[in-house]
Amino acid sequence: MVINSKTSLQETLEIARKEGKIIGLVPTMGALHDGHLSLINFAYSHCDKVVVSVFVNPTQFNNASDLEKYPRDVTKDAEFLRTHNPETIIFTPEVSEIYSGKVESESFDFGSFVNYMEGEFRTGHFDGVGSVLKRLFEIVKPDKAFFGEKDYQQLLVVKKLVEITGQDVEIIGCPTSRNEFGLAQSSRNFRLTDSELKEAELIYKALSKVKKMFDTNSIKEIENDVEKMFEAHPSFELEYFSIVKEDDLIPTTNKEPKQKYRAFIAAFLGEVRLIDNMALNY
C-alpha cells in the first residue's frame, strides 16, 4: 500500500496502534534493493506493522549532481515490496510535508560523531539526515526504527538524535547485506555498469584484508597497504580510509587493548560514491 499523505498514514497507523500493534519504521531514499529488504525483514521480526518511507531528502546531499542523479522509481519500489512483503506500507511524502517553508536543515549538536569521515567530507550531511528523521519520527511515531550498519556513522548519529530530541523510538541497527562477492548493496550500485560492479568489489576485498592484517600489523602499515590497493585501480579514487574506535568513531593511529575497532572506506568509482565499513576485532 502506497500512502502519500501524512494524514492518511496517521489514520491507518492509529487503527493499528489501537489494536496494540507494534509499529516499525524503515527510512529509505528508495531504489529499493536486497539491502533494504534485509532491514524490512529484520523490522518484521520485531514489529507487527512496518512502514517504509521513501523520500530522497534534498538537505542531506552536499553535491547537486548526486541529488539529481539519485535513482528514483516509486512504482518499481511498490512492486518490489508487493512481491516481497505485501503488507508493508510505503510512505512517500512530498517535500512540503517534511519541510514547511524553506527546505533547509536544522542544526544539531551531535558531538564528535560528525567530525570525521562522512561528517568531514559531506558538509551538512548529518544535519540533513537529522532534520528528515526528526520529522519522520514525528509523523510516523514508530515504536522502533531500523538502520543499516552499512551507514554505521549514520546509525550512531541517529541514536544521538533521539537522545537530543527525546523522541520515544528505539533505534535498531541491522547487519550489512552484501552480494555473493561481498559488495554491499546500495542504490548507488544501480548507476554502475556491469564491469564497474565487478571492480567495486575492491572495497570489500580491501576491508577483508584490513581485518586479516589488524592483529599483526600497525595501523600505518595497514593504511599504506589499502592506499596501494586503490592506486592499482586508477578508476577508483579513494576519498578516505579510516580505522576508528567503534564507540566514538575517532580515527586512531595506534591500537589500545580491549578497544573495539572498525574500518571505513569511501571511494569514487567514476562519478559514483560508494561507502562501506567492517568490524575488525569483534
Give the footprint of ligand AMP on this chain (CB under 6 A): 28-29, 35-36, 38-39, 147-148, 150-151, 174, 176-177, 184-187
154 is in an annotated binding site: yes
29 is in an annotated binding site: yes
Residue closer to ligand AMP, measured from CB, 172 or 213: 172
Residue closer to ligand AMP, measured from CB, 175 or 270: 175
Distance between CA atoms of 100 and 264, rounded to whole angstroms? 35
Is 36 a residue of the active site? yes
Residue closer to ligand AMP, measured from CB, 88 or 185: 185
Q: How many CB atoms lie within 10 A of CB 218?
A: 12
Distance between CA atoms of 51 and 176, rounded to whole angstroms? 20
36 is in an annotated binding site: yes
**Cell of residue 142, nine digits:** 514508530
Shortest approach of ligand AMP to residue 1 CB, angstroms? Answer: 19
31 is in an annotated binding site: yes
Shortest approach of ligand AMP to residue 70 CB, angstroms? Answer: 9
Shortest approach of ligand AMP to residue 177 CB, angstroms? Answer: 4
Distance between CA atoms of 10 and 139, rounded to whole angstroms? 7
Question: The cell 587493548 sits on which residue?
Answer: 257
Residue closer to ligand AMP, measured from CB, 39 or 139: 39
Q: Is 68 exposed, middle or buried (0-12, 13-18, 19+ CB in 10 A)?
A: exposed
130 is in an annotated binding site: no
Looking at residue 52, its amino acid is: V
Tell me the residue number closest to ligand AMP, measured at CB.
148
Which one of the listed residues 36, 46, 84, 125 is annotated catalytic? 36
In the chain, the N- to C-terminal Cα span, in Å, equals: 40
DSSP 72: -
DSSP 270: T
Residue closer to ligand AMP, measured from CB, 178 or 209: 178
Distance between CA atoms of 174 and 58, rounded to whole angstroms? 25
Where helices occur in the chain by DSSP H, the ranges are: 6-18, 34-44, 64-69, 74-84, 95-98, 118-121, 125-140, 152-165, 194-199, 201-213, 219-231
Shortest approach of ligand AMP to residue 154 CB, angstroms? Answer: 6
24 is in an annotated binding site: no
Shortest approach of ligand AMP to residue 246 CB, angstroms? Answer: 16
Active-site residues, by number, are 36
- Known binding positions for (R)-pantoate: 60, 154
Annotated binding-site ranges? 29-36, 60, 148-151, 154, 185-188
Binding-site entries for beta-alanine: 60
